[in-house]
Amino acid sequence: MKEKAQEIRRTSIGAQRNPQSQEAILQAAEEILVEGGLGAFSIEAVARRARAGKPTIYRWWPSKTMLLLDVYHRQKYVDIAPDTGSVEGDIFQVLHGLLNFWRTESGGAVFRSVIAEAQTNPDACHALGAYMADRYRQGGEIFRRAQKRGEAADWIDPGQAMELIASFAWHRLLTDRLDIKEDELRRVARQFANSVKA
């Protein structure tokens, strides 16, 4: 598991940022979040695992919160605006994709940590809010298409409709109930599809 390259001590490469250290720090931070959660996430622990000095971390990340947000933004994206041809199909796809990603990849642990951090740190809360607003605007595409097809009512706010769907996924993530059965998830998707019907 451990790479040889990580066992040799890194040192300065001159008057410039060492990308190997940056990568090692972000990597270590993510691993700690996945293995031990936000409770195990400390600058000391990250520095130890990355074989980096604490000043090196503090030089490039002003706080634990910012390092956490940086780890979060390195995560890969889940397609929040699939096009299956029907609203119900699209909604199911979004929910299935989100829950599955959070359950199987490292994304779940990282995102849980970001949300928890946002409850303590106003900066994290603001950053999270801005990011989510943008994603919901994007994801609202599902409903804009449905409105063009006449499948969704005009009074529906696409972004807000997407927020309701993501809210359900958040709730399952935060209560550790991502392992929803497929027929249950189909019923939820059906209900959400019903909610926008004309």
Query: Rule CB under 8 A: which residues touch a copy of itself?
Result: 37-39, 112-113, 115-116, 118-121, 125, 128-129, 132, 153, 155-157, 160-161, 163-164, 166-168, 170-171, 174-177, 184, 187-188, 190-192, 194-197
197: three-class secondary structure by DSSP: strand
Using the minimum distance from each CB to DNA, give the nearer residue, 53 or 85: 53
Residues that bind DNA (CB under 7 A): 9-18, 21-22, 24, 42-45, 50-56, 58-60, 63-64
CA distance 127 to 132: 9
- Indicate which of DNA, a copy of itself, none lies near residue 58 (CB less than 5 to 8 Å, by partner kind): DNA
Least Cα distance to 67 among 54, 51, 76 occurs for: 54
- Indicate which of a copy of itself, DNA, none lies near residue 42 (CB less than 5 to 8 Å, by partner kind): DNA
Task: Name residue 197's beta-bridge partners.
Answer: 152
CB of 74 to a copy of itself, least distance (A): 20
Least Cα distance to 90 among 138, 27, 24, 36 occurs for: 138
CA distance 165 to 94: 9
The two three-digit tokens of residue 45, written as one number: 């622990």
